[in-house]
Amino acid sequence: MPVDKNNFGADEYHANTTGDDYGYLKQMGLGDKSVERARQKESNNTDYNNFTKNSKPVLTYPQDLFQANQVNGVCFFVKIRNNSVAAQNSSGPSGIAADRIATFEQTHSEMATQMNRSSAEQYNATLTGGQVIVGAAGAYAAGKGLTAAIKNKGTLYEKAKAFGKGNAGTAVLAAGAIAVAERQQNKNEKGFDNEAGEFAGGTQFLNKVIQLHVPQSIISQYQADWNDTELGMAGILANKRFDQASLGDVGESAARGIIQGAASLPKAIGVDADLGAAIEATSRKTRNPYKEQLFKSMGFRSFAFQYVFNPKNQEEYDNVREIVNTFKYHMHPDISPGQAFLIYPSEFNIEFYHAQGGNVKPNPHLPKISDCALKDVKVTYGPDGFFNTVAGTDGVPSEITMELNFTELEVLTANRIADGY
C-alpha cells in the first residue's frame, strides 16, 4: 500500500506543532521513503550486475574434470530467494547448467513433497494465522476487533487510531498488523509484491553450476539423540514383569521413602542420623532407578570440503576467483527494503557425479544430500603460511585454499533414508 501524508495525519494525542498535516510520525522520519528505497534498490542491482558481469553458467575446476584422469566430481547448485537481489537480476539456466539442474530435480523429485522442514510457500498461511492470534489478543485488550478495523474505510492511520482507542502504543501495533494484512492482499500469483517481488518467500535455482573435483573421502555421518532418563517407581508399571510381588516392592519402597523423608527431623534437634542410609546398608538393597534411553531427535548432517587451487592459466584462475566469490556472496543475507529484516541467505544443493564412457551422471553409490546452509567459508591466499604471487601478473595469488562447511537443513527420517539419503 502506498504511503502518503494522509496515512500520517496529526491527531489530538500527538499534536503537530508546525501546523502542517504530516503528523508526528512524519516528523520522526517515518514518512514516504519510496524515492530513497528506489535509489537504494537501483544501487544494489548495479552492484550485483557489476559483481557478476563476466559470470559463466558453468564454473569448473580443474579444466580436465570428468575426463580420463578426473572421473569423479561434485556439483554445487545455488537456490536463491525469490525476493533477493540475485533473483531479480538473474535469467533462467541454460546449456550444461540447465541440464545439470534438470537431472538434479529428477533424482531428487521427492524433495518437493517429503522434506521434513518448514516450507517458504507456507509463509502467507503462517502469517495469516499469526494475524488471527495477534488480532484476537489485541481485540480482547483494546475492546475492538482487528477485523472490523481492517474493514473500516479510511487511511491506515485512521484504522489504527480507531483500533487503539487513542492509545498510542496499541495504535502503532495495530497499524503494523493492518498494514501487513493489507499487503498480503496485494500479491500476485507468484507471491511477489506488486512492485518488484520484494516479499516473495520461495526459492529458485541460480543460473550457475559449480563443478569441482572430489577433494577427499566422503563422510556421511548420522547421529541420533537419545537421553538418559530415570522413570523411578513408575518404571514398575512399564515393566512387563509387573505382578503382585511388585506391589510388595512398591509398598517397601514407599515406606523407605517416608522414613528417608523423616530423617531430617533428628537433625533439626541436633541428632545426626541418616536413617535412609542405615536402611539401605542393612537391607543391602537400593532403589531400581528404572533408567531408560528416550529418543529425542536426529542430528543434522554436516559436510566439509577443502580445495587447494593452483590455477595453470588465466581461464582457470578466473574460474577459481568466481567460484570463491559465488560461495562468499550466497552465504550472506540480503537486507529488506525497509532494512528491518535480513533476508535468509541462499541455500545449496550438493550432488556427486561420475563420468563413464563420455557420460556424466549422478553417482548412485553415494548418499543424496538435502538442502544445505553454507555455515563457514575460509579462504587462504598463499601456500604454507606465505603469500606468493604468479610472476608477470598484477598480483595473482599462486595458490588459494578454500574450506567449505555445509549443514543439512532437514532432520532425516526413515523414509528419507529409503529415498537414498
Rg of the Cα atoms in the chain: 32
What cell numbers appear for 347 in the block?
A: 541455500
**Residues contacting residue 164 through CB under 8 Å, at least 6 positions apart:** 142, 170, 171, 172, 173, 174
Q: At what angle do helices 156-164 and 123-142 cross, to 10 degrees?
A: 50
- At 111 the pLDDT is 72
Helices (H), 165-305: 168-184, 234-238, 244-262, 264-268, 275-283
Domain ranges of the chain: 1-32, 34-112+202-223+299-421, 118-200, 228-293
Residue 4 clears pLDDT 70, i.e. is over it: no
Amino acid code (one letter) for 9: G
Name the residue among 51, 107, 75, 113 with its Cα closest to residue 348.
75
- At 6 the pLDDT is 45
Burial of residue 86, with CB atoms counted within 10 A of its CB: 0-12 exposed, 13-18 middle, 19 or more buried? buried
Residue 80: phi and psi, rounded to 5, are -95, 150
Query: What is the C-alpha separation between 268 and 178, in angstroms, rounded?
Result: 63
Residue 147 clears pLDDT 70, i.e. is over it: no
Reading phi first (left if > 0) and then psi (alpha if -120 to 50, else beta), residue 226 is in beta
Residue 302 clears pLDDT 50, i.e. is over it: yes
Between 229 and 166, residue with greater pLDDT: 229
Q: What's the pLDDT tens digit per position in 69-99?
A: 899 999 999 999 988 899 888 887 888 889 9
The mean of the pLDDT values for the chain is: 75
Q: Percentage of residues in the chain with pLDDT exceeding 90?
A: 33
Residue 17 clears pLDDT 50, i.e. is over it: no
Which residue's C-alpha cell is 580445495? 307
Q: How confident is the model at residue 288 (pLDDT cuts 50, 70, 90)?
A: confident
CA distances from 124 to 81, 191, 335 (A): 16, 9, 20
Between 400 and 5, residue with greater pLDDT: 400
Q: What's the pLDDT tens digit per position in 315-370?
A: 999 999 999 999 999 999 998 877 788 889 999 999 999 999 889 999 999 999 99
Q: What's the pLDDT tens digit per position in 40-70?
A: 888 888 888 888 888 889 999 999 999 988 9
Between 254 and 366, residue with greater pLDDT: 366
Q: Virtual CA dihedral for 310, 316, 317, 320, nearest 10 degrees?
A: -80
- In the chain the first and final C-alpha atoms are separated, in Å, by 45
Catalogue the E-assigned strands of 72-200: 72-81
Residue 369: phi and psi, rounded to 5, are -130, 130
- At 55 the pLDDT is 84
Residue 62, preceding peptide bond in cis (omega within 30° of 0)? yes
Helix (H, G, I), strand (E, B), or coil: what is residue 89? coil
- At 165 the pLDDT is 52
Q: How confident is the model at residue 271 (pLDDT cuts 50, 70, 90)?
A: low
pTM of model > 0.85: no
- At 324 the pLDDT is 97
- At 3 the pLDDT is 41
Strand pairing of 58-61 and 203-213? parallel
